[in-house]
Amino acid sequence: MVPYPFAKPSLARKIILGYSIVVGLAMASGGYAIYNFSILNNITETVLRRDLVLAQSRSDILEHLIAEARNEAKYFILKDPDYLSLFRERGEAFDRVVKRMAGMSAGPDERGTLDKTASLHAAYAEDVSARAARLAEGKPVSLDEVPPPVFEELYGLITTMISDGRRSLDAAVIASNAQADKARQATILAVVLAGLASVSIALVIVRSIHERVRKLDDGTRQIASGNFAYALDDPSPDELGSLARSFNQMAAKLGELDRMKADFVSCLSHELRSPLTSLKEATSLMQDLVAGPVTPKQERLLKIIENDGDKLLRLINDLLDLSKMEAGMMPLNVHPARVEEVLKHAVQEIQPLAVGKGVHMVSLISPDLPVIRMDELRIQQVVTNLLHNAIKFTERDGTVTLSSTETPEGVQVSVKDTGRGIPPEAQARIFDKFHQVDPVMTGASGGTGLGLPIARHIVEAHRGRIWVESHPGEGASFAFVLPVARTPVTTGDT
């Protein structure tokens, strides 16, 4: 058994089916218009080819009959046989017209009337012939018999036929006009309905495809932003439905890979932190001469081990923090606090780095900023990270400015440097983890690409937002805003 072709319609079949309906409606409306105009054409043809000819023929037989009567009278008055010949010629013409009319008659009533007309005319001709014979025999013929009584009956019948024909012609014209109006209205209605149906079908097809493609586009954006839990709900069996299911499978696999990666990083970081901590403690004990005296060269080597160990521990701690933040497991110690104090502590912490590199630090902290609910240590971590990056990417004798102000959104903190700036193509991904701007463009190297992603997670956990503004050669400005909210922060609020 051959399956029904649209039981599981593909997208192409849906489009073909929809536009087939549109074409069918157009053909149906066109066929209906042709049908109505065909009826109108038949009526018009009947009026032109039959009714008008019959009307002219009725006038002709009346003219022939009147001419016969005149020739009859002249013959019996003047006794001139030429008038009798003219009478008979007109009679023959009369008979020919009646015969032609009989061939064009449409119904029995018309044929009956024409038969009676022919019969009366034959009687009239016989009466005239009989009186002409008596006149030829020298018998007297009374002029009172000219024309005979049968003439009056025939004349009345023909005039009635003419009147009836005119009424019939008027009725045919009225019917033709009515049919023309009907055809015009029906055609307009059919075209309008077909057009509305066609537009509706096209809109349904386009809207259904556009809506589903829009959802797929939204899903792609969600996946690109890291939301691998996003799923499309499209049970349709066509190509877009199949694409949606493949999209969901892809998102699930990407989510699984992301979880595996996070678990791996978390596990690896945890396993590395313990021996590094032990190594750091052992180095500290050796520097404290617990294991005995050390030479200056050994002291330098121990310092290198200590510094590199600190870098590794910071990297591992950043990896663990980022893994917890992405999993929503990073607690926040949120309570009302003043931003000014947090900013001052961050400046004090980072000042030695600025002095060591020869970068000027400028603080423009507005007084009397509103108290906001925040985790002071985490917000200080954000500010310190932004200041550290600004100093790193600013050349000697440059300036790093820390400012704060109140805006309609809340309290805004900005860190601006006078470095080389960030290219526009790199700004879109500046907050992605492990992403680093090309050192050739920024004039600095190093870093893990984790500081800004961690800062973004911390700010967004406080219901704030963070962004960057930069033009190459004009430095960069990183800013974040924290809302002055009365509602508690969702993540780990205490």
| Percent share of the chain, pLDDT over 90 | 20
Q: Which domains does the chain have, with CATH numbers?
A: 11-202 (1.20.120.1730), 239-326 (1.10.287.130), 335-482 (3.30.565.10)
Position 137 confidence tier, pLDDT thresholds 50, 70, 90: confident
Please give the pLDDT value at position 385: 93
* 11 pLDDT more than 70: no
Least confident stretch, 10-24, 51-65, 143-157, 293-307? 10-24
- Across 292-301, 328-337, 402-411, the highest mean pLDDT is recorded for 402-411
Q: What's the chain's average pLDDT?
A: 80
Whether 461 has a pLDDT exceeding 60, the answer reads yes
Q: What is the 3-state secondary structure (H, E, C) of the chain?
A: CCCCCCCCCCHHHHHHHHHHHHHHHHHHHHHHHHHHHHHHHHHHHHHHHHHHHHHHHHHHHHHHHHHHHHHHHHHHHHCCHHHHHHHHHHHHHHHHHHHHHHHHCCCHHHHHHHHHHHHHHHHHHHHHHHHHHHHHCCCCCCHHHCCCHHHHHHHHHHHHHHHHHHHHHHHHHHHHHHHHHHHHHHHHHHHHHHHHHHHHHHHHHHHHHHHHHHHHHHHHHHHHCCCCCCCCCCCCCCHHHHHHHHHHHHHHHHHHHHHHHHHHHHHHHHHHHHHHHHHHHHHHHHHCCCCCCCCHHHHHHHHHHHHHHHHHHHHHHHHHHHHHHHCCCCCCCCEEECHHHHHHHHHHHHHHHHHHHCCEEEEEECCCCCCEEECHHHHHHHHHHHHHHHHHCCCCCCEEEEEEEEECCEEEEEEEECCCCCCHHHHCCCCCCCCCCCHHHHCCCCCCCCHHHHHHHHHHHCCCEEEEEECCCCCEEEEEEECCCCCCCCCCCC
Confidence of residue 287 (pLDDT cuts 50, 70, 90): confident
Tokens of 457: 């997670």
402-421: average pLDDT? 92
User: What local confidence, expressed as pLDDT, does residue 386 receive?
Assistant: 94
Residues 6+ apart with CB under 8 A from 320: 266, 269, 270, 273
How much is the pLDDT for 86?
A: 93
> What's the confidence (pLDDT) of residue 489?
47
